[in-house]
Amino acid sequence: MEIVIVIVGAGIGGLSAALALAIAGHSVQILESSSTLAEIGAGVQLTPNATRYFWKWGLGPELIEHAVLPESFNILSLNNGNLIGAVDFTNFTQQYGAPYIVIHRADIHRILYEHCVKAGAKLRLGSKVVNYSIEDGELQLSGGQEMSADLIVACDGIHSLARGFLNPGLGGEDGMQKTGWAAYRKMVPVSALKRDELTEYLAREQNGNCWVGEGKLMMAYLVKGATILNLVLSHRDDVDTTSWGPEKYGKEIRKLFADVGDVPRRLLKLSNPGAVNYPVGQVRRLERWRSWSGKMVLMGDAAHAMAFYLSMGVSMAVEDAEALAECLRMGEERGEGLGKVMGVFEGVRKGRAESVRDASMHAGDVLQVSGEEKKERDRWIGRDGVVEGGMERQGEGEEEFWKKGLRYGIADRRIREWCYGYDVAEEVKRAW
C-alpha cells in the first residue's frame, strides 16, 4: 500500500531514506531548506553494513566508478611511524557482502539524488520547516504554507529542529553534547604526493592510514578518484578557532604536530594552505525518536549524530533507511498501523545507534591515550581482538563488550563483526 511520506532534509541520510522508500513504492517528497542541493565536506568512509544496501538499491557500479577501495587500514605511531597493526580489507566483500569504500561527499550525494529521481521521489528546495504537529503528521514552512503527510521522516541533521518537538529542550544546539575532541581538516594534492619519494607510496597503495599519538592523531585517506588525500587531525577541543585565518591555522597545527615522524610532517608540508576545525559532537541520549501516533519519526544525525572514530555515522543513517522501509513493509503485511510500525522501528534502531555512538567515542579516546595505556592499546591492536586461547565470544545479553580493554574498533575483529556484520533487515524481522 502506498503511503504519502515527507522527508525533511536532503543530506545523505535523507536521500537514503527517500530512495529506500520510493523503491518500496511509496509517494516521497523531500523538503530541503537550502536553495541549492549541495553536500559540503570532504571524504566519507562507507562501511559494509551501509554499502550492502547501496548495492541492493542499485548504486554499486556508480559508487565503484567514483570511490577508492582501500586494501588495508594501517595504524602507526605518530612519533616514529612504526606499524602497530593493519586490517586487511580485501576480503570484506566475501565476508560481509559488500566492500569498504571511501568517496567524496559530493559524489555520493549526487549519485543518491539521481537514483531518487529515477525512483520517483520529488525534491523541493528552499523549504525550511519551522513548526511541527507531531501527532497529526503536519508541518509548517517558513513562508506560512502548511503540509501534511501520512508520515513525516525528520532527517534534518545534527542541529535538528524536529528533535526538539519530540524531545522538548533537546532541539538544535541543546541536543548536542561536547566530546572533548575536535579535528582540523586539510587536503594534499595527490600530484604532490607522487613527486615526493617519502610520500609517493601513499598515492600508489591507496590504503587508509592512521598515525596515533598522545592526545592527537592524523588520519589520511584518498578521495575524488584518488586525486586528493584527505587529512583529519584530531586534537583536544581546547582552542577557539573562530577568528583564525590560514596563517594562524598553519602556525598552530605545526606547533601541535611538531614532534611527529617524517611522513606526517611531510604531509603537513605538502598540504594546501589553511584548514577548517570541527569540534566533535554527538547527540544526547533521547527519550524517543517517534510520535505516539507514528506519524513522525527521527532518523540519521538528527537522532544519533556521533563521533567519527569508527567511521559509522553515515552508515548508521543508511541502516535507518533500510530499517524504515522494512518496518513499513512488514507492518503492511500484518495490517498494523503506523503507531505500531514506528514503535518497532524505534525498538530496533535506538539501542543499536546509542551503542555504536558510545563505542565511537570510546574508540577516539583509545586511539589518543597517553603513557602506559599506549602499550595495552597497541597489544589489543596487534592481536586484532584475539585473546589468549582464541577469539573471545560475546555472551548472551552482554553489553558494552567494546569497553573491555583498550580495544579499537576497526582493528578489533569482534567489533568489526558487530559493526559490519549487522543485518538490519533481519533484526526488523526478529522484532516483529
More confident residue, 409 or 183: 183
The pLDDT of residue 241: 94
415 within 8 A of 407, measured Cβ to Cβ: yes
Nine cell digits for residue 329: 513493509
The mean per-residue pLDDT over the stretch 268-286 comes to: 94
394: left (phi over 0), alpha (psi -120 to 50) or beta: beta
Question: What average pLDDT is seen over the chain?
Answer: 93
* Residue 72: count of CB within 10 angstroms of its CB: 14
Q: How confident is the model at residue 403 (pLDDT cuts 50, 70, 90)?
A: confident
User: CA torsion, points 152, 158, 160, 164, in degrees to nearest 10?
Assistant: 110
The mean per-residue pLDDT over the stretch 399-423 comes to: 89
**Residue 290 DSSP class:** B
- E runs forming strands in 237-348: 276-283, 296-298
Alpha-carbon gap, residue 145 to 47, rounded angstroms: 39
Which residues are within 8 A (CB) of 171 and not within 5 positions of it... i.e. 6 or more apart? 160, 161, 162, 163, 164, 165
Alpha-carbon gap, residue 167 to 55, rounded angstroms: 34
The pLDDT of residue 36: 87
β-bridge partners, 420: none
Alpha-carbon gap, residue 411 to 420, rounded angstroms: 13
% of residues, the chain, pLDDT over 90: 88
Alpha-carbon gap, residue 291 to 165, rounded angstroms: 9
The pLDDT of residue 67: 93
Is this structure's pTM higher than 0.85?
A: yes
Alpha-carbon gap, residue 184 to 253, rounded angstroms: 8
pLDDT(290) > 70: yes
For residue 33, give the nearest of 5, 4, 11, 12 by alpha carbon: 11
More confident residue, 43 or 196: 196
Q: How confident is the model at residue 394 (pLDDT cuts 50, 70, 90)?
A: very low
Q: How confident is the model at residue 397 (pLDDT cuts 50, 70, 90)?
A: very low
The mean per-residue pLDDT over the stretch 374-390 comes to: 79
Give the tens place of pLDDT for each residue, 211-257: 999 999 999 999 888 889 999 999 999 999 999 999 999 999 999 99
The pLDDT of residue 57: 98
Dihedral over Cα of 98, 103, 105, 108: its sign = negative
Give the tens place of pLDDT for each residue, 295-342: 999 999 999 999 999 999 999 999 999 999 999 999 999 999 999 999
Backbone angles phi, psi at 120, to 5 degrees: 105, 0
The mean per-residue pLDDT over the stretch 47-74 comes to: 96
pLDDT(277) > 90: yes
DSSP codes of every residue in 396-413: TT---GGGSSS--STT-H
The pLDDT of residue 389: 47
Give the tens place of pLDDT for each residue, 111-142: 999 999 999 999 999 999 999 999 999 999 99
Alpha-carbon gap, residue 19 to 117, rounded angstroms: 9
% of residues, the chain, pLDDT over 70: 96
253 within 8 A of 131, measured Cβ to Cβ: no
418: left (phi over 0), alpha (psi -120 to 50) or beta: alpha
How far is Cα of residue 163 from the mean position of the Cα atoms in its chain?
19
pLDDT(423) > 60: yes
β-bridge partners, 176: 283
The mean per-residue pLDDT over the stretch 395-422 comes to: 83
Nine cell digits for residue 341: 510500525
Give the tens place of pLDDT for each residue, 154-178: 999 999 999 999 999 999 999 999 9
pLDDT(106) > 80: yes
- H or E element: which one contains 331? helix 313-333
Q: How confident is the model at residue 404 (pLDDT cuts 50, 70, 90)?
A: confident
Residues in the chain: 432
The pLDDT of residue 349: 98
